[in-house]
Structure 1
Amino acid sequence: MTLEASPTPGVDGRPSVHIADIEASINFWRKRDPVDQHLALRPELAALAEVYALMVYHHQTDADEANMPAAARAAWMAWFDTQPDTPCIAICSTSQGDEVCKGCGRYFNEVQRWTEMTPAEKRVTWRRITLEGDSWRFNRYAERAIE
């Protein structure tokens, strides 16, 4: 199995899954029953662990979503389905002409394409806005009132 890294995740048309999301999905499955009655890893954990191990071995931070083994992608999607669907906080400044929404931090094209985006593309956006942490979704109302 080969995992391809995307040089610019989600931008070059090849959505990728960041290693932090693989870790989060592994932890999601670990909180459930991590082993079966024979003390073997659950299939979901084994599939994700293989992807994670290969990423670490090859010093990759992103795995090409299309090249993930089916079992690993299914396990990752089960975790993804537990995550918030959208970063929107219903204060959309892109409708007022801003290129980047002050409310959620998404670019205009991300807001427009959100329903068409793949899960990996959505996670790339979530990761970027979380790392930047400067949109209103990451502060308190009192802090917004000062601006």
Structure 2
Amino acid sequence: MARIHITDIESAINWWRERKPSPDGITACAEVRELAQGYALMVYYHQTDCDEASLSAKALDAWLAWYATTPDAPCIAICSTSQGDDVCKGCGRTFDEVQHWPVMTPAEKRATWRRITMEDTAWRFNRYAERARSASGADHPPPESLLPLPAEGKA
């Protein structure tokens, strides 16, 4: 069973706090209170993650509502596992993760997202991401490392 990382619980709490702000600056909405119970126990016991079954049904529902707002697959449409790589150069998922993604649980998907984000080696986290940002019409020029090199003999 996949485990939910404390940063995902925290993100869900903050998402709910933004969605349903406190009317008086003190009272939290029901979803935040449910998630906060699990979060507090994780902090108290110095745990970085918990399994889905350790959360109350209401806390899990609140977490799943936040999860539904996150990107599903990390795919950037450059799948090197189809060319025989054990780990995709584009998204950073293993061959098994790519193949089983449609049947993975939300917690399993978030664990994969966390791993590939922490590894920070997939193309989605480097020059490909920079090129995508510059192609999207960003107001800033691409980094110097992405500019074309001058042809030899030309200045």
TM normalised by structure 1 equals 0.83
Partners of 2:77 and 2:109 lie apart in 1 by 18
Partners of 1:65 and 1:36 lie apart in 2 by 30
Shift of residue 33, structure 1, vs aligned partner: 2.0
1:64 matched residue in structure 2: 51
Partners of 1:34 and 1:54 lie apart in 2 by 23
Deviation by residue 1:15-43 (Cα, 9 ceiling, x = unmatched)? 11000100111110111223358x63211
2:106 matched residue in structure 1: 119
Q: Give matches, 1:36-75, under 5 Å.
A: 40-75=27-62
Select which of 1, 17, 42 maps to 1:30: 17
Partners of 1:112 and 1:128 lie apart in 2 by 17
Work out the percentage of aligned pairs sharing the same amino acid.
62
Q: Give matches, 1:1-147, under 5 Å.
A: 14-35=1-22, 40-141=27-128
Greater mean alpha carbon deviation, residues 83-92 or residues 134-143: 134-143
Pairwise CA RMSD of aligned residues?
Answer: 2.0
Matched-pair contact (CA < 8 Å) for 2:17–2:28: no
Higher-RCO chain (CA-CA 8 Å, sequence separation at least 6):
1
Deviation by residue 1:52-86 (Cα, 9 ceiling, x = unmatched)? 00000011111111221011101100110000010
Greater mean alpha carbon deviation, residues 132-141 or residues 100-109: 132-141
What stretches of structure 1 of length at least 5 have no aligned partner?
A: 1-13
Rg: which structure is higher? 2
Equivalenced residue count is 132
